[in-house]
Structure 1
Amino acid sequence: MPRRRRICLILAVLATAAACSGSASQRASGADPGTFAREIARPAAPPDAARLPILFVPGNLGSGDQFGVQAQRFTSNGYPADRIAAFDYDASDPEPPAERIFTGLDTEIARLLTLSGRKAVDLVGQAEGADLAVRYLASTPARAARVAHLVSVAGPQPAGPPRGVRTLAVWGIGDPTRRIAGAQNARFPTDDRGELLASTGTFKQMYQFLTGEQPFTTEVTDQAGPIELGGRVVLYPANAGGGPARLELYRVDPRTGRRLASGLRSFVNLPPDGTFGPLRADGTASYEFAVIHPGEPVQHFYYQPFRRSDRLIRLLTSKPAEEIGGGMTASPRQTNLVVSRGQEWQGDQSRTSDQLTVDGHGVLNPANTPRSKLTLRVFLFDQGADGVTDLAAPLPFYFAVGFVTGADLFIPAGDRSVAVTMTPRGVAAGRTTVQVPAWPSSTDRISVRFRDDTF
């Protein structure tokens, strides 16, 4: 790495550390975090225009936001945010039509090459997405020539790197003998597929493989100044475009989840493919996205502060008659929640189970979130609208869906806030709470998305 760039990065990391220390003091004093953000800059690594674009391909029932935390780690190390993209396809089909997907990959790679002025991209695939990436490269020499590196996370075992494209294979839990001959193979034998994709260990392997250098940081560092938010509204799990619709972005009070006075920051009339952004935002603030389809319930999405620009946001929506698991019971008396993150929820580990509480009620247990379920999304609602909570067994129509579970939890709707608290792997230091308004489920749906770098 050139000496000048190395010095710049060291100074950026030191400045970030100093700013984070100041941030903790500011929170303790109760000062307005927005004021603090204006007073103290928190620089990140300077963008490096020489970096190749990175394109992520998710696995079955996945979407582009699963690569979000890794994208932010890359940008914390100097990757331009607009050069990291994700390719969405119909991930509800276990055997999607390959050639249609390959044509879509052609288009997205061409876009990234035009944007960056580079001659090749780096391709990252997870599980079934890695299998598609391998088959894509093997399909024609011209396609392989536009890809400099392949990273396969929990993917297949081809006989060797497809058409000689340099390959890193990252393996998690399972058969310890898996490998791709002629590729670089890295192993994290205790990680399930979601955790493997989001881990700092995988990031370090990817960064070194793609750049030939060690990263300066494996953290998501705070970005100085305004950030940009972008992505897609999609119909889950087909990942079809969620437009046309209206998308509204609100700044909310983190203590209640309620919209601040004059809190509307942006609004967008979504095109059919659901793309939006970049929208200007503040990395220290809490936000709500609201997706409005005429005649349908409003779908609200609540996030922890983003900290950095994020171009891989995926707002997973559904039509009322096409909801996964058959649809949640709706009633003006109750609030319905969908809580998600990119690493699996585990409710059956003796000492390291995740804890997810809603208004103080623990909802995860060995029955509804065993480790083997690989749960990423938890659907919480009052089955039958009887006002009774029953967490003894999972809701079968949700538990039968891959990476999803459901629990019968009565959450009263009304003029109040609901506290949704995650304690990852039972570690109290990582405990995080997102407050949301208790919207009635007859007119409103709520999703909460926790960050993946809180472990």
Structure 2
Amino acid sequence: MQRHGITGEEQMMLSRRTILQGAGGLAFAVANFRTHALAQTPSVAQGTEVPPILFVHGNGDYDALWMTALWRMESNGIARDRMMAINFTNPTARADDTVEQANRSSTEDQRRELAAAIAELKRRTGAARVALVGNSRGGNSIRNVIKNGGAGDVSHAVLCGTPNHGVFALDALLGSEFNGRGAFLRGLNEGESEVTPGVAFLTLRSDGMDKYAQPDGRFIGKPGVPTNVTAEGPELKGATNLVLGTIDHRETAYHPRAFREIYKFIAGREPARIAITPEQTVRLGGLVTGVVDGVPTNRPVAGATVEIHHVDRESGERSGDVVHRSTTGADGRWGPATVDPTSPLEIVLTSPDAPITHFYRSPFPRSSDVVHLRAARPFIPADKDAGAVVIMSRPRGYFGLPRDIVLLDGKEPADVHPGVPTDAAATLRLPASEIGRNVVAEFNEERIVARAWPASENRIAVAELTY
């Protein structure tokens, strides 16, 4: 989530211009829904009695974060064409929900895109109702669409780490979507019950390790200021509320522990397996997106080149010929690429007006068409003396010390803070004399070997963790 710093009005209003802008984005959002068309038919029996499932990502994020959850669902027999993950056009919330802000979305923008996604999944499957699973801000959108006319289309709503009572509850910043005293959340929470009748609600939360459910404001840039929110903030009156232990904000959705509860709640039974069942043939594809004026968007980037290499798991050096090379068109799509499911990969993204990014990834055990790529951040002043920059990134969770084993080049990164997990990236800067050597990134049992590329050539290496 973003930090919010603009004081707003109590009423949430939409101008005609906002409505028209949002309508223009709907066509792109609907066209961008994916149902894993690249993948093979699962070998296990398909659970057709389970309702279709639509996954909803959080603030500033994208649908690719649900990749491992989709794999686990597939491994339990859920047919790929009965699942979908939405990719919101402009995924980052406005500072003030009532004030237009370029490349950001209002709660109404999100509601309309999600309603369109629900209609599309119902059309594709012929189902009367679908299950919704959302992380963080995605849960806000789920509650909003259900409360405002969508309850008849939804059987289950699973809210993972959603700030249902706000990231803060203050008399300032009342226009923020994340203010528990603001008009948006007060509207969702009014009444004896905080859930909509006819829909089964489940909330999943951390036991004190969610940085957006903390009593002190230090995680929103206001240390020492009471937020009036506690670890219980994600719970809802009238819902089934579960505490998953010391997992972090994102892990409430993407951790195997969360998967078990999501599956059990929707399917009505325990999953047959938590582990991901590998496929013999793996095909990958995805979307190239970018950042506009410092704000991440999920709009497609045309003219980006994607190149894939198999690499040695110990040295990170390329092995064999180029596996795949393509240039994106107007839809921003790359692939499909057939890869060895036992081999780590180097994915090189050359995107307009961005650093050439060398992504190093663990082997992909299953096919996916949500292997989305967004170039690494631009070089910053702290990089000016570096011969090479290597970033260790964990999109589906944060690094927690001492909870986790986090090692970058054999050391705990200095830019990962202990205590409540808040950091999803760590940076290593190397002198020019060490360009070309390998760098090992380790997070618990996942180990990625990257290589250091010359910063002078506008190149950054990213060891991107899958788990």
Structure-1-length-normalised TM-score: 0.71
Structure 1 residue 226: deviation in Å?
0.6
Q: Which runs of 5+ in 2 are unaligned?
A: 1-41, 98-104, 166-188, 209-229
Cα 1:336/1:208, change in 2 over 3 Å: closer
Q: Does 1:93 align with 2:93?
A: yes
Cα 1:445/1:59, change in 2 over 3 Å: same
Q: 250, 263, 288: which one pairs with 1:233? A: 288
Work out the CA distance in 1 between the residues paired with 2:151 and 2:333: 28
- Residues 217-366 of structure 1: matches in 2 within 5 Å? 217-223=273-279, 225-235=280-290, 238-244=296-302, 245-262=304-321, 264-293=322-351, 296-317=354-375, 320=378, 326=380, 329=383, 333-347=387-401, 349=402, 352-358=403-409, 360=410, 362-365=411-414
For 2:128, the equivalent position in structure 1 comes to 119
Q: Does 1:148 align with 2:155?
A: yes
**1:30-49: per-residue Cα shift (whole Å, max 9, x none)?**
xxxxxxxxxxxxx8524445
Q: Could you tell me whether the CA contact under 8 Å between 1:302 and 1:436 is conserved in 2?
A: yes
Opposite residue 462 of structure 2, the aligned amino acid is S
Opposite residue 450 of structure 1, the aligned amino acid is L
Q: Could you tell me whether the CA contact under 8 Å between 1:125 and 1:133 is conserved in 2?
A: yes
Q: Could you tell me whether the CA contact under 8 Å between 2:413 and 2:427 is conserved in 1?
A: no
For 1:80, the equivalent position in structure 2 comes to 79
Work out the CA distance in 2 between the residues paired with 1:451 and 1:319: 19
Work out the CA distance in 2 between the residues paired with 1:343 and 1:177: 20
Q: Would you tell me which structure has more helix in proportion to its own residues? A: 1
Opposite residue 169 of structure 1, the aligned amino acid is T
- Residues 414-453 of structure 1: matches in 2 within 5 Å? 414=435, 416-424=436-444, 430=445, 432-443=446-457, 444-452=459-467
Structure 1 residue 123: deviation in Å?
1.1
Q: Could you tell me whether the CA contact under 8 Å between 1:252 and 1:260 is conserved in 2?
A: yes
Structure 1 residue 273: deviation in Å?
4.9
Cα 1:138/1:328, change in 2 over 3 Å: farther
Work out the CA distance in 2 between the residues paired with 1:413 and 1:173: 42
**1:250-280: per-residue Cα shift (whole Å, max 9, x none)?**
2222232233232x22233324453344433
Work out the CA distance in 2 between the residues paired with 1:49 and 1:280: 28
SS at match of 2:320: strand
**1:155-184: per-residue Cα shift (whole Å, max 9, x none)?**
215433235322111121244655323322
For 2:239, the equivalent position in structure 1 comes to 183
Work out the CA distance in 1 between the residues paired with 2:197 and 2:340: 44
For 1:169, the equivalent position in structure 2 comes to 203
Q: Could you tell me whether the CA contact under 8 Å between 1:354 and 1:364 is conserved in 2?
A: no
Work out the CA distance in 1 between the residues paired with 2:431 and 2:393: 15
Work out the CA distance in 1 between the residues paired with 2:432 and 2:198: 55
Work out the CA distance in 2 between the residues paired with 1:232 and 1:308: 18
SS at match of 1:162: coil
Structure 1 residue 151: deviation in Å?
0.4
SS at match of 2:87: coil
Q: Could you tell me whether the CA contact under 8 Å between 1:345 and 1:371 is conserved in 2?
A: no
Cα 1:295/1:212, change in 2 over 3 Å: closer
Q: 417, 420, 433: which one pairs with 1:372? A: 420
Opposite residue 374 of structure 1, the aligned amino acid is T
Structure 1 residue 314: deviation in Å?
2.9
Q: Could you tell me whether the CA contact under 8 Å between 1:247 and 1:267 is conserved in 2?
A: yes
Work out the CA distance in 1 between the residues paired with 2:353 and 2:138: 35
Opposite residue 424 of structure 2, the aligned amino acid is L
Q: Does 1:110 align with 2:119?
A: yes
Work out the CA distance in 2 between the residues paired with 1:149 and 1:97: 24
Structure 1 residue 132: deviation in Å?
1.8
Of the structure 1 ranges 101-110 and 175-184, higher mean CA displacement relative to structure 2 is found in 175-184
Structure 1 residue 116: deviation in Å?
2.9
Structure 1 residue 54: deviation in Å?
2.2
Opposite residue 451 of structure 1, the aligned amino acid is T
Structure 1 residue 133: deviation in Å?
1.4
Of the structure 1 ranges 283-292 and 114-123, higher mean CA displacement relative to structure 2 is found in 114-123
**1:180-203: per-residue Cα shift (whole Å, max 9, x none)?**
233222112422212322233221
Work out the CA distance in 1 between the residues paired with 2:317 and 2:119: 42
Work out the CA distance in 2 between the residues paired with 1:299 and 1:423: 21
Structure 1 residue 440: deviation in Å?
0.8
Cα 1:330/1:148, change in 2 over 3 Å: farther
Work out the CA distance in 2 between the residues paired with 1:275 and 1:257: 26
**1:419-450: per-residue Cα shift (whole Å, max 9, x none)?**
223142xxxxx2x4322232112321221112
SS at match of 2:413: coil
Work out the CA distance in 2 between the residues paired with 1:436 and 1:69: 22
Cα 1:150/1:294, change in 2 over 3 Å: closer
For 1:65, the equivalent position in structure 2 comes to 64
Cα 1:53/1:282, change in 2 over 3 Å: farther
**1:370-427: per-residue Cα shift (whole Å, max 9, x none)?**
233521122333xxxxxxxxxxxxxxxxxxxxxxxxxxx657553x332223142xxx
SS at match of 2:77: coil
For 2:13, the equivalent position in structure 1 comes to none
Count the aligned residue pairs.
362
Identity between Structure 1 and Structure 2 (%): 23
Q: Could you tell me whether the CA contact under 8 Å between 1:334 and 1:412 is conserved in 2?
A: no
For 2:265, the equivalent position in structure 1 comes to 209
For 2:100, the equivalent position in structure 1 comes to none
Work out the CA distance in 1 between the residues paired with 2:284 and 2:82: 14
Structure 1 residue 338: deviation in Å?
4.2
SS at match of 2:383: coil
Work out the CA distance in 1 between the residues paired with 2:273 and 2:448: 27
